[in-house]
Every structure is written in C-alpha cells, then in structure tokens.
Structure 1
Amino acid sequence: MRLPNSAHTTRPWRIHEIAGDFRLDDVWDLPTPGGPDDLDRLVRQLTAPELPYRDSPVARALFAIRWKLGALLDLDRPEGVAGARVPTLLDRLPADLREGPRGPEPANGRFRSLYQTRDEWASEISNRTVHAVRHIGWVPDGNGGYRGRMAVLVKPNGLFGRAYMAAIKPFRYFAVYPAMLRGIGRAWQAEAARAEHAHTG
C-alpha cells in the first residue's frame, strides 16, 4: 500500500542526515508482518538473487525493455555508478554508520548497500538518469507487531533524468510496484511457513 510522504519524513531515520538533497519519490508499506528483530530477515530477502516481481509477466517484460533500452542508450555504463560519475553516499556516512554493518550486498549487483541498523537499511543505485536510494525501515504496525516500509529517494541527473523519471512513473505505479509488493509478500509468507514447519517438524 502506498503511503503519504509523512510516513517517512516524520520518523527519525538516519537517512535524513545523509540524503537531505534527494527528493522523496514514494513510500510503501510492505506485506511483511513480523517481530521487532526481523529487519535482518527482510534485508536478506531483498538482497537474494530471486527477483520479487519474477511471477509477474508484465513487470518482467517492463524490466526487460528497460535493460534493453539501457544497453541501447548506454544508460547503465560503469561511469554512471555511484562512486564513479557521482559521489557515493558512503562518503557522507557519519562515523558510527561508516564503522557499523552495511548489510549484505544485493545479488543483482545494481544496488550498493550503505548501512544497516536495528530498524533501517539503505542501499543506493546510480546511472545516467538518476542517483537513487532504497530505504527500508522496520516500524511498529500499531497492533503489537512490526512490518517493513520502503521509501525511494531520487536525485535525477539533469533534464534527461527528470524527463525519464516522469515517463516511467505510470509504469512503476501501475505495474512494477504492485508486482514487487505481491512478490515480497509471497516470499515472506513462504519463508515463515518453512520456518514454522521446521519448528514443528
């Protein structure tokens, strides 16, 4: 479920002090009910090789088109990644986060982990169109449990980047994010079922 921006901006996340010049693009509740210490489980799921939209033909087709366009237009060349063409946010981390755990590196190799705390994890991606942050928070659900919350922060690269982000926005809202959230929910439930079976078996 998409949430108002205030669901992210009103919480005392560490990312605020690191990516203050990025625009908050989206905030989503994740279908990942759990306990207070389950962020690490969610981060492992999100960095696994299996893509959360793999069961959606529409989302798979859209991503395939995106990667083909990226190759054709040279959008994803190495000098576009954070730390090469643009400064990585790792350079902005305060000492305690720089010396603390970063979390696992995403298996797809496109994102780079920045830091992980007990209740948040952040990773970055950069190419010729945008420098973006995926922020995962672990928040109380109001009913005694906890769940994940995802925020996407962006800094488009010039006029082309802004035009590109505007052009893909409808596809992200109506195809990519719904498929991604369903996939995250199914994977979360499947892992919970396996853990329950192992516990009772």
Structure 2
Amino acid sequence: MRLPKSAHTALPWRVHEIADDFLIEDVWALPTPGGPGDLPDLVAWFASDDGDAEPPAVYRTLFAIRWKLGALLGLDAEKSGVGKRVPTVRNRLPADLRDGPRGPDLSTVPFTSVYLTDTEWVAEMGNRTVHGLMHIGWVPDGTGGYHGQMTVLTKPNGLFGKLYMAAILPFRYALVYPALMAMIKRGWAARDSARPHP
C-alpha cells in the first residue's frame, strides 16, 4: 500500500541525517508481517537470489527493456555509478553507523548496502540519471505486529535525470510497484511457511 511521505518523515530514522538533499519519491507499506526482531530476515530476503522471489513476467520484461536501453544510452556505465559520478553516502555516516554493520549488497539489482541497524537498512545505487537510496524501515503495525516500510529517495542528475524520472513515473505506479509488491508478498509468505513454528 502506498503511504504519504509523512509516514517516512515523521519517524526518527537515521537516514534523515545523511539524505536531507534527496527527494522522497515513494513510501510503501510492505506486505511483510512479522515480529519486532524480523528486520534482519527481511534484509536477508531482499539481498538473496531466492527462487521464491521470482519476479512476474511483466516485471522481468520491463527491467530487460530498461537494461537494454541503459546499455544503448550508456546510462549504467561504470563511470556514472556510486564512487565515480557520485560519492557514496557512506562518506556522510556518523561514526556509530560507519563502524556498525553495513548489511548485504543486493544480488539481483545494482544496490550497495550503506548501513544496517535493528530498525532500518539503507542501500544505494547510482547511474547517469539518478543517485538513489532504498530505505527499509521496520515499523509497528498498530496491532502488536510489525512490517517493512520502503522509501525510495532520489537525487536526479540535472535536467536529464528529472525528465527521466518523470518519464518512468507512470510505469512505476502502473506496472513496477504492483508487480514488486506481489513478488514481495509471495516471497515473504513462502519464507514464513518454511520457518519452523512452535
């Protein structure tokens, strides 16, 4: 379920300390019910190449097109990534986050982990169009349980980056996010059913 931006800004996330110049694109409640200590499981699931998380055909097709266009237009060239065109936001971390767990990198998409705490995880990516952060928080659901909350933050690269983000907006809302939420729900349920229960 899509949430208002205030669902992210109202909480005392550590990411606020390092990303005040990034725009909040989207905030989503993830279909990942769990208990208070389940964020590490969610992070491990995101970072895995788990067959239960096989993306739907429309999702795979859109990303195949995106990677082809990226190769054609040079959007994802190494020189445009994190540490090249843009410095990593790890450089902005306060000492306690920099010295703490970084978390795993994602295996199927080009996101590199920035930091991990017991309640939040941040990963970043960069290309010719944008420097992006994915923030996953673990929040109470109001009924005694918890679930993930995903916020996408971006810093578009000039006019080209702004035009690119505007052009893909309809595809994100109509195709990418619904497919992503369905994939997450299915993968999390499969992971939950495979866990031993008392």
Letter in 2 for 1:106: L
Provide the TM-score with structure 1 as the length reference: 0.95
Name the CA shift for 1:52/1:175 in 2 (closer, same or farther; >3 Å). Answer: farther
Provide the TM-score with structure 2 as the length reference: 0.96
Distance (Å, rounded) in 1 between the aligned partners of 2:176 and 2:51: 12
What is residue 175 of structure 2 aligned with on the other side?
A: 175
- Displacement of 1:51 in angstroms is 8.0
Unaligned runs of 5+ in 1: none
What is residue 92 of structure 1 aligned with on the other side?
A: 92
Q: Deviations over 1:9-63 (max 9, x none)?
A: 0000000010100000000000000000000000001111248874422121111
Aligned Cα RMSD in Å? 1.4
What is residue 60 of structure 2 aligned with on the other side?
A: 60
Q: Note if contact 2:53-2:186 (Cα within 8 Å) is conserved in structure 1.
A: no
Distance (Å, rounded) in 2 between the aligned partners of 1:109 and 1:26: 18
Name the CA shift for 1:51/1:106 in 2 (closer, same or farther; >3 Å). Answer: farther
What is residue 10 of structure 2 aligned with on the other side?
A: 10
Distance (Å, rounded) in 2 between the aligned partners of 1:26 and 1:109: 18
| Matching of residue 49 in structure 1 with residue 67 in structure 2 | no
Q: Single out whichever of 2-11 and 187-196 deviates more from structure 2.
A: 187-196
Unaligned runs of 5+ in 2: none
Q: How does 1:139-154 map to 2 (within 5 A)?
A: 139-154=139-154
Distance (Å, rounded) in 2 between the aligned partners of 1:9 and 1:51: 34
Percent identity over paired residues? 59
- Displacement of 1:157 in angstroms is 0.2
Distance (Å, rounded) in 2 between the aligned partners of 1:166 and 1:53: 28
Distance (Å, rounded) in 2 between the aligned partners of 1:16 and 1:101: 18
Q: Deviations over 1:125-177 (max 9, x none)?
A: 00000000000000000000000000000000011110000000110111111
Q: Note if contact 1:113-1:123 (Cα within 8 Å) is conserved in structure 2.
A: yes
Count of matched residue positions in the alignment of Structure 1 and Structure 2: 198
- Displacement of 1:108 in angstroms is 2.7
Q: Note if contact 2:53-2:187 (Cα within 8 Å) is conserved in structure 1.
A: no
Q: Single out whichever of 8-17 and 41-50 deviates more from structure 2.
A: 41-50
Distance (Å, rounded) in 1 between the aligned partners of 2:13 and 2:49: 27
Instruction: Give the 3-state SS of the residue equivalent to 2:173 in structure 1.
Output: helix
Q: Deviations over 1:39-96 (max 9, x none)?
A: 0000001111248874422121111100000000000001111111111101000000
Name the CA shift for 1:51/1:155 in 2 (closer, same or farther; >3 Å). Answer: farther
Q: How does 1:101-180 map to 2 (within 5 A)?
A: 101-108=101-108, 110-180=110-180
What is residue 192 of structure 1 aligned with on the other side?
A: 192
